[in-house]
Chains A and B, each alone.
Chain A
Amino acid sequence: MNERAPIVFVVDDDPSVRRSIKRLIGSVGLQVELFGSAQEFLLSKRPDAPSCLVLDIRLPGISGLDFQHELAEANIHIPIIFITAHGDIPMTVRAMKAGAVEFLTKPFREQDLLDAIQLALERDRARRQADAEIAVLRERFESLTPREREVLPWVVFGLLSKQIADAIGTSEASVKVHRSQLMRKMAADSVADLVRMAEKMGIPIPKKP
């Protein structure tokens, strides 16, 4: 998968702090984009690349914690690193529970921020990769015929062709045809491989025939 250059978004209402963060992150060769408010960030056109968000807790209009919640609601899964000038424990707990990568108190050590950014970008990369894989699998799954899609869960469950034929009321010969077709279309080398794929896609597996 050819990966695009990672990008770090920074949302802080203090221009001086924003600029200093940009210098710091920029000096390790990362691309940085700055925003003065949550609204500005939401309205921006974000490139399709591994990214993370450095977010101030105190923002005009909305708190960083509420914004984290809003992003999750809007299905935007960008890893978040919180920075705050006056953090407290309840705040930290809430942020971390909601999946924040790190919670840094200003002024923070540069290594802490850079480490957190590395971790966040790795997470985002992994998430993006997983998303991409699932997208490919979904595409393959879509190419199956209805009958093949019906047979697949039973194969994953571990039934023999004869048993599948009994379960769905058809001949063993036609089940064997469906089975080889779907293995080929899904590009699965083995039944074990197919089980992994079904798991990734979250296809429901029957409890019993």
Chain B
Amino acid sequence: MISGNAALTGSYDHLQVALSVLIAISASYAALDLAGRVTATRGRAQLTWLIGGSAAMGIGIWAMHYIGMLAFRLPVPVEYDWPIALLSLLVGILCSAFALVVVSRRRMGLTYALIGSAMMGCGIAALHYIAMAAMRLPAECRFDFRLVALSVVLAVVFSFASLWLAFYFRDEPQNSAWRKLGSALVMGVATSAMHYTGMAAATFIPAAPALDQSHAVSISSLGTLGIAAATLQVLGLAVLSSLVDRRFDAQGLELALTETRLELAHVARIATMGELTASIAHEINQPLTAVVNNGNFALRQVASEAPNLEELREAIAEIVDDGTRASAVISRIRALLQKGAPDRVELDINEVIQEATILVRHEATLSGVSVRLDLAADLPRVLGDRVQLKQVLLNLVINGIEAMRTLTDRPRELLVKSAKNADAVLIQVQDSGKGLDPEQVGRIFEPFFTTKPQGIGMGLSISRSIIESHGGRLWSVPGSSGALFQFTLPTDGNSVS
């Protein structure tokens, strides 16, 4: 240097430099991770993540700069003014909060990103130079302004890159951990580059201490390690809580989805029940009528002088049959109405088909529809929820019956067929109606899409979600005469019913 006093020659403690880079990388990783949480949450949770996240990140950035400075050894004792050091920490936290707010916005335009990164870069540069201003040493600090400018530019560029990366990762795409780590490496190294450029801009000339020494504290190597350890802990905690929160969130979401689906399935069952109420009243009252009539007949016979025992026996036998029939109807209805988590059991799909078609028997006769079953023998069993599968079948069969109500030029026939198909069983429901409108085919599985005047448009959409939850597929087959719906159910491999 040109002045009378030669500049002090500094050297770096390489271990501490490495530590500062490690902290920079950790802080970057935490930043990327926290951006996702701030975006995914709402209300109080979002505010908590914002405050906690910016505190952790701010401490990370701040610690990185201080450890970087502590790694710089001068031949004179260096102390730090703690109020200024705290001020620089505050700047770091505010800067982090600002960054998190920027990246959690719904969309980020280029202008927005540029302004954001300019502000953030200046903030980080401010942190760095405030931190340097906290240095208390018997020397005068001079800056090379070209390098200072370069360090600010680097800070802005690094902020820009960070914002984009954080914005990209905030939606937490699958398997993003490695890419996140890579980005954190880039960001951490960039931060360090900025810091050490800033350090290189400073030259220390021995001089009497000019600044206020009253709040100066010296920091030992142990102290440096303490700062580093505490910072890493804070960052680790931030990343860990973010991970736990995300898990809970995902679980909660899955749970909510399952619950909604069950709820909808229940609603749809009730709706189907509504359509079937008349049919069911009929199904129960028919056997009851026969029971009451036969009972009355039996009473008369018993009261008469010469009861006809053979007729009496027949009447009583029919009472027993009809009582059993009524109770079977009630069991079927209870099974239909039962609400609960799916109950997977091994079952014979043909039985389910038969039970479902018995329930709509009256609906079918009233509409003049003949229901034909073509069930393959020796089908492998499937693992499924009997009630849900029955609901799907009811839906498809009732749709078919309703589609044929206006049919006059050909017989109204509904065919329900089961067959073996590779690793699955295939069930088809075909009516002889006018078929699906090609314009509507693409939409029929959409929730709330309906072609029926009284329909709510949930039947097929729920049916499809039920079949898919069974690992099968439900679709309509175009081009055939009448509408053809079919679904598959995977078999568990154990053949023979």
With A16-B322, A60-B365 known as contacts, the answer to whether A107 contacts B297 (CB < 8 A) is no
In the complex, the answer to whether A20 meets B293 with C-beta atoms within 8 Å is yes
Min C-beta distance of A114 to chain B, whole Å: 10
Residue of B nearest to A27 (CB): B300
Q: Is there a chain A Cβ closer than 8 Å to B229's Cβ?
A: no
A21-B368 in contact (CB<8A): no
Give, as a whole number of angstroms, the nearest-CB distance from A11 to chain B.
14
Q: Report the minimal beta-carbon distance from A17 to chain B, rounded to whole angstroms.
A: 5
Residues of A within 8 A of B322 (CB): 16
- CB A21 to nearest CB in B, in angstroms, measures 6
A27: chain B residues at CB < 8 Å are 297, 300-301
Q: Does A24 contact B (CB under 8 A)?
A: yes
Residues of B within 8 A of A24 (CB): 293-294, 296-297
By the criterion CB–CB under 8 Å, are A85 and B282 in contact? yes
User: Contact size class for A?
Assistant: 20 to 34
Q: Scoring B residues 366 to 377 as 1 if CB is less than 8 Å from chain A, else 0, what string do you get?
A: 101000000000
Binary per-residue interface labels of chain A (79-114) against chain B in the complex, 1 for a CB within 8 Å, 0 otherwise: 000010110000000000000000001111010000
Report whether over half of chain A's contact residues are helix, strand or loop; otherwise say mixed.
Answer: loop
Q: Mark A10-50, 1 if CB is under 8 A from B, else 0.
A: 00011011011101100100000000000000000000000
Query: B368, A106: Cβ atoms under 8 Å?
Result: no
Measured in the bound complex, the distance between the Cα atoms of B321 and A18 in whole Å is 14
B297 to A17, Cβ gap below 8 A?
A: no
B290-307 interface (Cβ within 8 A of A)? 290-294, 296-297, 300-301
A-side contacts of B296, CB under 8 Å: 24, 110
- A108 CB contacts on chain B under 8 angstroms: 289, 292
Residue B287 lies at the interface, judged by CB distance under 8 Å to chain A: yes
Q: Give Cα A16–Cα B321 distance, bound, in whole angstroms.
A: 9
Contacts of B286 in A (CB 8 A): 14, 16-17, 85, 106
Interface residues of A (CB under 8 A from B): 13-14, 16-17, 19-21, 23-24, 27, 58, 60-61, 63, 83, 85-86, 105-108, 110
Contacts of A63 in B (CB 8 A): 366
18 interchain pairs, CB-CB under 8 A: A13-B365, A16-B286, A16-B287, A16-B318, A16-B322, A19-B290, A20-B315, A23-B294, A27-B301, A60-B368, A61-B365, A85-B284, A86-B277, A86-B278, A106-B285, A107-B285, A108-B289, A110-B296
Tell me if B288 counts as interface (CB < 8 A to partner A): yes
The contact string, 1 if C-beta is below 8 Å from chain A, for chain B 302-330, is 00000000010001001001100100000
Q: How far is the CB of B320 from chain A (nearest CB, A)?
A: 12
Q: Which residue of A lies closest to B322 (CB)?
A: A16
Whether the pair B290, A16 counts as a contact (CB closer than 8 A) is: yes
Which of chain B's residues has its CB closest to A18's CB? B290
Q: Which of B290, B311, B318, B366 contacts A58 (CB 8 A)?
A: B366
Closest to B284 in A: A85
Complex CA–CA separation, A24 to B368 (angstroms): 31
| A-side contacts of B311, CB under 8 Å | 23
- What residues of chain A lie closer than 8 Å to B291, measured between beta carbons? 20, 107
Which A residues are in CB contact (< 8 Å) with B282? 58, 85-86
Count class of interface residues, chain B? 20 to 34
Partner of B292, one of A58, A85, A110: A110
Given contacts A20-B291, A24-B297, A86-B281, 13 further A-B contacts (CB under 8 A): A20-B292, A20-B293, A20-B297, A23-B294, A27-B301, A63-B366, A83-B289, A85-B284, A86-B278, A106-B289, A107-B293, A108-B289, A110-B296
State the Cβ distance, B306 to closest chain A Cβ, in Å.
13
Q: Which residues of B contact A60 (CB under 8 A)?
A: 365-366, 368
Decide if B368 touches A20 in the complex (CB within 8 Å). Answer: no
Instruction: Say whether A86 contacts B293, CB under 8 Å.
Output: no
Q: How far apart are the CA atoms of A67 and B289 in the complex, in Å?
A: 22
User: How far does the Cβ of B465 sit from chain A's closest Cβ, in whole Å?
Assistant: 32
Q: Does B420 contact A (CB under 8 A)?
A: no
Closest to B308 in A: A27
Nearest chain-A residue to B300 (Cβ)?
A: A27
A23 lies within 8 A of B315 (CB)? yes
Task: Answer whether residue B417 sits at the interface, using C-beta atoms and an 8 A cutoff.
Answer: no
Judge whether A20 and B294 touch: CB under 8 Å.
yes
Chain A proximity of B372: nearest CB distance (Å) = 16
In the bound assembly, the distance between CA atoms of A58 and B364 in angstroms comes to: 12
The 8 closest A-B pairs by CB, nearest first: A20-B293, A85-B285, A86-B281, A106-B289, A107-B289, A107-B292, A110-B296, A85-B282
Chain B residue with Cβ nearest A110: B296
Closest B-chain residue to A62, C-beta based? Answer: B368
Task: Find chain B residues with CB under 8 A from A83 CB.
Answer: 289
The minimal Cβ–Cβ distance linking B162 to chain A, given in whole angstroms, is 71
Checking B278, B288, B366 against A107 with a beta-carbon cut-off of 8 angstroms, the contacting residue is B288
Report the bound CA distance from A138 to B362 in whole Å. 48
Interchain nearest-CB distance for A42 vs B (Å): 17
Whether B297 contacts A23 by the Cβ 8 Å rule is yes
Return A60 CB to nearest CB of chain B, in Å: 4
Least CB distance from B308 to A in Å reads: 9
Asked if residues B366 and A17 are in contact (CB atoms below 8 Å), the reply is no
Chain A residues, Cβ within 8 Å of B325: 16
Residue of A13, A14, A86, A105 touching B290 (CB-CB under 8 A): A14
Give A58 to B278 CA distance when docked, in angstroms.
10
Alpha-carbon distance A108/B293, docked complex (angstroms): 8
Check if A106 sits within 8 Å of B288, measured CB to CB. Answer: yes
Rounded to whole angstroms, the CA-CA distance of A24 and B294 in the bound complex is 7
Known: A20-B294, A60-B366, A110-B292. A85 touches B281 (CB 8 A): yes
Which chain B residues in 135-168 approach chain A with CB under 8 Å? none
A61 lies within 8 A of B293 (CB): no
Contact A86 B321, beta carbon cutoff 8 Å: no
Picked from B289, B301, B362, B368, the residue with its CB within 8 Å of the CB of A17 is: B289
CA distance A23 to B308 in the complex (A): 12
Question: In the assembled complex, which residues on chain B have CB atoms less than 8 Å from the CB atom of A21?
Answer: 293
A20 touches B290 (CB 8 A): yes
B283 to chain A, nearest CB (A): 8
Complex alpha-carbon distance, A86 and B279, angstroms: 9
Q: How far is the CA of A85 from the CA of B283 in the complex (A)?
A: 8
